[in-house]
Amino acid sequence: MIATVSKNFFLYLSQNKGLNQAAKKWGLKFGAAQVVAGVTIEHAMQTVKDLNENGIVCTLDHLGEFVSSREEAIQATEYNVRTLEAIGKTGVNSNLSVKMTQLGLDIDKDFCIKNMCQILDAAKRTNNFVRIDMEDYSHCQVTLDILRELREVYGFDNVGTVIQAYLHRSLDDVKDLKGIPLRLVKGAYKEDPSVAYQDKPVIDKNYMRLIEEHLLSGSNTAIASHDHEIIAKVKDFVKKNNIPNDQFEFQMLYGFRTELQQNLVKEGYKMRVYVPFGDDWFGYFMRRLAERPQNVSFAVKGFFSK
């Protein structure tokens, strides 16, 4: 009961636009620096470089979502292009992750696609890959529609997306996206029971179904989980089904389960860390607190250290 109240509280805070705006002026507070890699591209490049030296590859996410003006969306697009250019210039091993609402999806879909094309052009110039993050359920179908358009109409093959295991629709989506690189996650937004499973055992079972489906189709699969039981099941599954290590990778968030990350590297698995950075950190941080009650210790320690 307490865990549910805590989760709902932090998810509510994550969507509070006033707090999100105020947090941009605060700098990284409440322990957020443990899970957000600074606020500038330079900070991000150094973090990625350090992780690369430990055998870990990355995907960078310039934090920001639900922008309300074209100017903000254009600025975010340009910043993502500069991030890709910095990756190319420094030679670090990192992809890029982006959110469609940061690029103006809620303003105009075609405007968002135009911005995304600029980012994908920059990724192609630097021989890189871009992952479209999945957001809340209301943006799910349109995000998949945009992915299809980018790949089939505009011819970009350097783009994939994310599928969330707690959504009822996700198995059908994974089947429909055969051959497209997917990151598979459990899901981190508060969704209605009419569209999303609510119980962890049910979500976990569906998660494994999605992973198995995409792997058996021969598709590139990123298993994004901190759950050691899920990771152990995936290891067993790929061995039993002779799935090569270069067809899949494990992914985790920056600042979480670092010892497990290193163990996977030592075992010969590809380990990618999702590295968020930027001044729009509040919503991301609140969702991390909501996901796992033990994460709240980050905030409590951070609060009392200020």
CATH architecture for residues 37-280: Alpha-Beta Barrel (3.20)
Q: What value does the mean pLDDT take over residues 155-164?
A: 98
Q: What value does the mean pLDDT take over residues 193-217?
A: 97
Burial of 134 (0-12, 13-18, 19+ CB in 10 A): buried
Question: Is there a binding annotation on residue 102?
Answer: no
Q: Token pair of 273, please?
A: 């860390």
CB 98 within 8 A of CB 131: yes
Indicate the DSSP class of residue 69: S
Distance CA 179, CA 196 (A): 25
Burial of 294 (0-12, 13-18, 19+ CB in 10 A): exposed
Out of 183, 204, 272, 279, pick the active-site residue.
183
The letter for the amino acid at 70 is: R
Residue 133 designated active-site? yes
Question: Is there a binding annotation on residue 27?
Answer: no
Q: What value does the mean pLDDT take over residues 143-156?
A: 98
Residue 121 designated active-site? no
3-state secondary structure of 221: strand
Sequence-separated (6 or more) residues with CB below 8 Å from residue 206: 165, 166, 170, 171, 197
Report the pLDDT value the prediction gives residue 18, as an integer from 0 to 100. Answer: 56
Q: Any idea what the Cα angle at residue 88 is, between residues 265 and 288, rounded to 5°?
A: 50
Band of pLDDT at residue 284, cut at 50, 70 and 90: confident
Domain boundaries, the chain: 37-280
Out of 133, 173, 204, 280, pick the active-site residue.
133
263: pLDDT strictly greater than 90: yes
Question: Is there a binding annotation on residue 287?
Answer: yes
Question: Is there a binding annotation on residue 200?
Answer: yes
Beta partners for residue 182, in sequence order? 161, 221
Between 14 and 97, where is the model more confident? Answer: 97
205: pLDDT strictly greater than 50: yes
Band of pLDDT at residue 290, cut at 50, 70 and 90: confident
Question: Is there a binding annotation on residue 187?
Answer: yes
Sequence-separated (6 or more) residues with CB below 8 Å from residue 79: 41, 62, 278
3-state secondary structure of 159: strand
Range among 118-127, 185-194, 295-304 with highest mean pLDDT value: 118-127
CB 207 within 8 A of CB 184: yes
| CA nearest to 187, candidates 145, 147, 137 | 137
Distance CA 61, CA 130 (A): 10
The single residue listed with the structure tokens 């590139």 is 220
149: pLDDT strictly greater than 50: yes
The single residue listed with the structure tokens 């968030």 is 253
Question: Is there a binding annotation on residue 188?
Answer: yes
Q: What is the mean pLDDT of the chain?
A: 88
CB 241 within 8 A of CB 216: yes
The letter for the amino acid at 238 is: V
Between 17 and 3, where is the model more confident? Answer: 17
Question: Is there a binding annotation on residue 288?
Answer: yes
Q: Token pair of 255, please?
A: 């600042």
Band of pLDDT at residue 1, cut at 50, 70 and 90: very low
Distance CA 90, CA 46 (A): 10
pTM summary value: 0.87
| Poorest-pLDDT segment among 39-53, 62-76, 115-129 | 62-76
Question: Is there a binding annotation on residue 125?
Answer: no
Q: What value does the mean pLDDT take over residues 184-190?
A: 89
